[in-house]
Amino acid sequence: MKTIKHISLLILACLVLGSCQDAWNQHYQAQELQVDGEVLIYKGNAADYLQANYSEMHRMLGNAGILAQMNPEQDYSIIVYPNNLLSASGLAGDTAYASFCISDVACSPSSMWDGMGLSTWQGKTIWVETDNGLILLGGCPVSKIIKTDDAYLYVIEEKMLSVLPSVYDAIMALDDNYSEFKKLIKRHERTYFDPDKCTPIGTNAQGNTIYSDSIKGWVTENTLMDRYTEEGQEMWNMRSETYNNTVFVPSNDLIKAVIDTALAKVPRWLGRKATASDRAKYENWLVRACFVDRELSEAEVCGNKDIDCVGGFTRDTENNNKLSAADVAMWRPSVQKVRTDNKMKANNGTLYFIDWMKVPNNVIIYRLKSRFYELWNNST
């Protein structure tokens, strides 16, 4: 009799557990039946969907504190990986990588375009590519898209996205064979305090304004290379991942050869010794010629068509933010030679290492014209 009771209780328990599992599945999966084109619609929040379908992803975001920080009044975009891929990657416990998987921008597939950048909580940018209706994020195809009440979930099954250094960080990490190029860039960098980026909370005994977040006010600029629109809006700088770039990188030996060759023409063409001003002009041209504000293809880099480098306006923050039209350098593939078999990929661009370049004659002729006008004025 006791045996019959035990069997009956066991059957009842199984029925209860089975019905609970069915209810759980209905709660988390029945809502997935709605499909809008290529997007799966889930009536619930991202955390619940991930917990039921991508538990390792849910655990990673939870352990990193990201789920707790998500504002229920805001929408997000989240990169999602299958359990097996995330577990095998060794990144499941990486808090920094978890912050690379979420963006404050809730970006629908229809609002994405080729070359668009998606800024993440880590401060890195994930770049969008579109190819015949296929969406690639960070070079990896998106296999599934789910729209929850508070996020777009982009599922990537091919591989984990790589976190690459920015173009600027990649340059600064180059070895000592490229130290002169780094020095030429850093020469024009200036750090200053911008009070407009801070919140004033009072004054001290000396009458100076006190800010609650003064660390935000310290800004780095590059007086030679930061570029703005005619209206004063930022349009490019090499330190930000917001902008795509192609960088041509000269070695120390090449820089010396390029500058020395240009300086040697000064006595012949201008009838005087080369000066420090001449050197500075040629070195500035070299830096300007090494940056293009878009990512070029190998065909463009090795082609015959001349390429305009970064244009726009420079801004003088020490002179009431005065704007001046930038001297735009030109990269000439027919003259300047790079190695496409030894390029370096960065998160927001590509670095090509230069085999040969030279200062264009028109840059030196500018000096010749100045000398001509000086002699003409003195003779009249």
Q: Using one digit for the tens of pLDDT, what is the confidence trace for 62-73?
A: 999 999 999 999
Q: Count H helices, E strands: the chain?
A: 12, 24
* The total number of residues written for the chain in this structure: 380
Q: Note whether 126 and 175 are same-domain residues.
A: no
Residue 18 domain flag:
no
Examine residue 235 and state whether it is found in any structural domain, yes or no. Answer: yes
pLDDT of amino acid 193: 72
Looking at the fold, whether 107 and 178 belong to one and the same domain comes out as: no
pLDDT of residue 8: 46
Residue 202 pLDDT: 78
Contact 301, 249 (CB under 8 A): no
Q: Are residues 327 and 240 in the same domain?
A: yes
| Residues 149 and 111 reside in one and the same domain | yes
User: What DSSP character marks residue 160?
Assistant: P
Identify whether 255 is part of a domain: yes
Helix segments in the chain, DSSP class H: 2-29, 46-53, 55-63, 66-69, 83-89, 95-100, 167-172, 179-186, 252-270, 276-289, 298-301, 361-379
Output the domain CATH number for residue 65: 2.30.180.10
Note whether residue 324 is domain-resident: yes
Q: What is the pLDDT of residue 214?
A: 60
Per-residue pLDDT of the chain (380 residues; tens, 9 = 90+): 444 444 444 444 444 444 444 444 444 444 443 445 589 999 999 999 999 999 999 999 999 999 999 999 999 999 999 999 999 999 999 999 999 999 999 999 999 999 899 999 999 999 999 988 899 999 999 999 999 999 999 999 999 999 999 999 999 999 999 999 999 999 999 987 777 767 777 788 777 877 776 666 678 899 999 999 999 999 999 999 999 999 999 999 999 999 999 999 999 887 889 999 999 999 999 999 999 999 999 999 999 999 999 999 999 988 989 999 999 999 999 999 999 998 999 999 999 999 999 999 888 766 555 444 444 455 54
Is residue 348 in a domain?
yes
d(CA 321, CA 232): 8
Whether residue 233 is found in the same domain as residue 351: yes
Q: For residue 38, what pLDDT is reported?
A: 81
Q: For residue 186, give Cα distances in angstroms to 85, 243, 311, 351.
A: 41, 19, 20, 18
Same domain, 369 and 237: yes
Q: Are residue 50 and residue 171 in the same domain, yes or no?
A: no
How many domains are contained in the chain? Answer: 2
Which pLDDT score, from 0 to 100, does residue 318 have?
86
Are 176 and 323 in the same domain? yes
Query: In 3D, which of 75, 61, 145 has the Cα closest to residue 110?
Result: 145
The answer to whether position 206 is within a domain reads: no
Q: Is residue 139 part of a domain?
A: yes
Query: Per-residue pLDDT tens for 164-190?
Result: 999 999 999 999 999 999 999 999 999
Distance of CA 79 to CAs 85, 160, 170, 278, 350, Å? 13, 10, 25, 51, 24
What pLDDT score does 11 carry? Answer: 44
Residue 17 domain flag: no
Q: Which domain holds residue 278?
A: 167-188+223-379
Do 181 and 106 lie in a common domain? Answer: no
Instruction: Check whether residue 150 and residue 259 sit in a common domain.
Output: no
Query: What's phi and psi for 31, nearest 5 deg?
Result: -75, -10
Do 309 and 247 have their domain in common? yes
Same domain, 228 and 312: yes
CATH value at residue 323: 2.30.180
pLDDT in tens, 14-39: 444 444 444 444 444 444 434 455 89
Q: 131, 155, 179: which is the final residue of a domain?
A: 155
pLDDT for 28: 43
Measure the CA–CA gap between 53 and 32, rounded to whole angstroms.
Answer: 11
Residue 303 CA to residue 280 CA, distance in Å, equals 30
